Structure 1
Amino acid sequence: MTPISPEERQRVRDLLEVLTRTKSVSGSEDEIASFLENVLEDFGYSVKREKNNVLVNPNKNLIVTAHMDTVPIKREFSLDAAYAYGTGSCDDKASITAILEALREIEELNFGIALFYDEEENGTGSMEYAHRYRPKMAVVMEPTSLNVASTHYGSLEVIVRARGISAHGAHPEKGINAIEECIKFYYHVKSIPGIMSSMQMIRGGSDELVIPERCEGRIEVLFPPEIKSRDVIGAIVRGISHTISIEIKDSYDGTYSRRVDRLLEKALMSIGLIPKRAVMKSWTDALNLAKVGCDVVVWGPGELYRCHTEKERVSIDEIVIAKRALVALNKIVREEEC
């Protein structure tokens, strides 16, 4: 691979800083959507603004996507010689930086661009785009350390509510502890073969020395594409006791890439990288696109496990490499008449 020049690094650092310092917590994307719209128009592209989705060539067979919103701020932006830090720096403004820097170099764009709003909360932007345009293929940019995530897990959320019987804290045998009932239910979910689960919120009890009669929790459940959401739901329901009620939210089956992953791998090889495969286990906009039959792959700079925390960071060099790969992908799309 051609060495990265100081000028390439500096352009990425400067743009990423502007994007990350532009706050865009889910539900507050107006400012960054306007900024992105203006930048793309300055590059000479015809831009469509649909609510806060910012689109270029939205009817193309292959689109490259990223999302502009972030979780609430855990850490402000900062830089050192190798990394950028701060909420949104990696998830997902590093990907937007790579897209914009690629578009700065591309003379004739052969794929579409979709920059979505509301990925972190409800996925509204990608849902609206998917149903309106029904793309055939998509590279969904999310942190994968530049590995090609051609397998995407399915997911669902379980809201669990437990109703117990209160009693004085000195006599737990006279009551039913709602917190313990929630925990028992969680371990039932966790025991289902082939899935991953995590209790991400639990709320109940007080400081009053009382056995709690109410508790509520939220469980995220992830599973490979060969396991279907309906079967996971069936297994979950079989563990419900008389103290438990549940609500299933955001149920999605997983998916495998069909062709788009190979196009991306070809682009990576053309710039001197050996592609590595990965699995995307988090919900992403790719699942909304896959629901309308889109062939999706997830790929981008950064380490997902650090995101949504004060440890979020991204390698400046990975962003440059991602930019180069997108420029190469544009040529491959033309050559293969995608």
Structure 2
Amino acid sequence: MAERLEQVWAAIDPQRLKQTLLEMIDIYSPSGKEEDIQLYLEGVLAQAGIHVVRQEVEEERYNLLATMGPEQPPLCFVGHVDTVAAWDIDDYAAKDEWGVVRGLGSADMKGGCAAMVEAWLALATLPEDRRPNIGLLLCVGEEENGDGSTRFLEEQQPEWVVIGEPTSMQPAFSHYGYLEMELQTRGRRTHSSLPELGHNAIESMLRVLLELDRSAIFKRQPGKLVYSIREMSSSRAGFVVPDSCEAMIDLHLAPDVRPAEVRSELEVILEKARQRIDELDLEVSFAYEADGYQLEQSGWLLEIFEEVYPRLNLPLTLLPFRSHSDGNLFYQAGCKPLVLGPGSLETAHTAEEQTSLAEVEAAARIYCAIALGLPTS
């Protein structure tokens, strides 16, 4: 591996990598509108002579697939090209300042995608008989419902996948589970000057949220269950007491906490809330749930990291990935998903989203090392 790795690392072009990242960020690609960035990436790979296959997800939406080697690859690098919607449509583009790149998707996860594409271009400089047997998936839809990865998994289930979500370059062998809960309260509308004649759905919702906050389920050991009230909205019709209110709650669960068990506990708490809160009209639904997972923190991948990280002057710390990602889907399908990518999760989905060019280049080098260190059967 050592000789091939040195050859591939020498083929990594930091300037080309920077250009790819900046151009990717400058292409607005929220979930559902990914075609422009897929056309761009298809062109980058095709220009290097790399055969790319479009995998249709729905009309005008498709994944991009590439493979190396003669067989079905046991390892696939996975990057999603979509982003959340821009905070300000006039201010999503890339900004490069002193080696720090800001802009929508810079961390989540165009930095990881750019690094994977650069690693692929470098690996493609090897003679065909010396290339690793790997795949590349540039998928759509991760920020919504994971329909791009779901479509891929209908046809392929590689043993290993490496997902370039932002982990500050720390390998995540474990991954949190996820539970999404929707709440709706209903009230009775009346003029806002006569609230005693109506029933305020917002007040009902606040009482429900307080019941949840006071419950034992949210007082677990720190890090076992993390919840966030992501959205809350109400009916808006002028100066009236609102007759409906909706809230969306995200629950991120440590790998050993099962979403189904948490859902059952929440249903009990909410049933008690119905009995305690006067005139409460509450509907509850669980829109999505996914189990977390814990991969074995040993073996060939860890050996690669222990060899390569010191060479790149990077600390090596194994931390779980705390957000939801397509990693949950791949694990449910029987794959072993490692999450590893440039940029920090802390800034993802915010106006301060950023990554560093140094991390993106390091990611490309580490992805090359993983590809070349893949055990052969």
TM-score (norm 1): 0.90
Going from structure 1 to structure 2, the CA distance change for 1:172 and 1:262 (only over 3 Å counts) comes to: farther
Partner of 2:113: 96
Going from structure 1 to structure 2, the CA distance change for 1:134 and 1:84 (only over 3 Å counts) comes to: same
2:53 maps to which of 48, 55, 72: 48
1:105 aligned onto 2:143: no
1:238 maps to which of 268, 279, 285: 268
CA distances 1:244-271 after superposition (whole Å, capped 9, x unpaired) = 1012112111111236x75443333332
1:293 aligned onto 2:327: no
Partner of 2:204: 181
Contact 1:69 1:117 in 2 (8 A): yes
| Cα distance in 1, alignment partners of residues 64 and 300 from structure 2 | 24
Letter in 2 for 1:56: A
Question: 108-117 or 282-291: which moved more?
Answer: 108-117
Partner of 1:250: 288
Partner of 1:63: 76
| Cα distance in 1, alignment partners of residues 307 and 122 from structure 2 | 17
| Cα distance in 2, alignment partners of residues 226 and 91 from structure 1 | 25
Displacement of 1:171: 5.5
Partner of 2:245: 215
| Cα distance in 1, alignment partners of residues 238 and 51 from structure 2 | 62
Contact 1:301 1:314 in 2 (8 A): yes
Contact 2:173 2:339 in 1 (8 A): yes
Partner of 2:229: 199
Displacement of 1:155: 0.7
Letter in 2 for 1:337: T
2:172 maps to which of 149, 161, 177: 149
| Cα distance in 1, alignment partners of residues 267 and 322 from structure 2 | 23
Going from structure 1 to structure 2, the CA distance change for 1:224 and 1:35 (only over 3 Å counts) comes to: same
1:21 aligned onto 2:12: no
| Cα distance in 2, alignment partners of residues 32 and 245 from structure 1 | 39
What RMSD over aligned residues (CA atoms) do the two structures have, in Å? 2.3
Letter in 1 for 2:256: E
Question: 13-22 or 263-272: which moved more?
Answer: 263-272
1:244 partner SS: strand
Bigger radius of gyration: 2
1:293 partner SS: coil
CA distances 1:179-230 after superposition (whole Å, capped 9, x unpaired) = 1222232334444244211111111154744332211111111111211111
- Could you tell me which runs of 5 or more consecutive residues in structure 2 were left unpaired when the two chains were aligned: 1-5, 57-61, 275-279
| Cα distance in 2, alignment partners of residues 155 and 184 from structure 1 | 24
Partner of 1:337: 376
Going from structure 1 to structure 2, the CA distance change for 1:264 and 1:22 (only over 3 Å counts) comes to: farther
CA distances 1:114-150 after superposition (whole Å, capped 9, x unpaired) = 1110111111001111232122111111001001112
| Cα distance in 1, alignment partners of residues 361 and 180 from structure 2 | 35
Displacement of 1:24: 1.2
Partner of 1:308: 349
Displacement of 1:328: 1.0
Displacement of 1:169: 4.1
| Cα distance in 2, alignment partners of residues 270 and 105 from structure 1 | 20
| Cα distance in 2, alignment partners of residues 262 and 86 from structure 1 | 36
Letter in 2 for 1:123: G
- Could you tell me which runs of 5 or more consecutive residues in structure 1 were left unpaired when the two chains were aligned: none
Question: 139-148 or 57-66: which moved more?
Answer: 57-66
Displacement of 1:308: 1.2
TM-score (norm 2): 0.81
Letter in 2 for 1:124: D
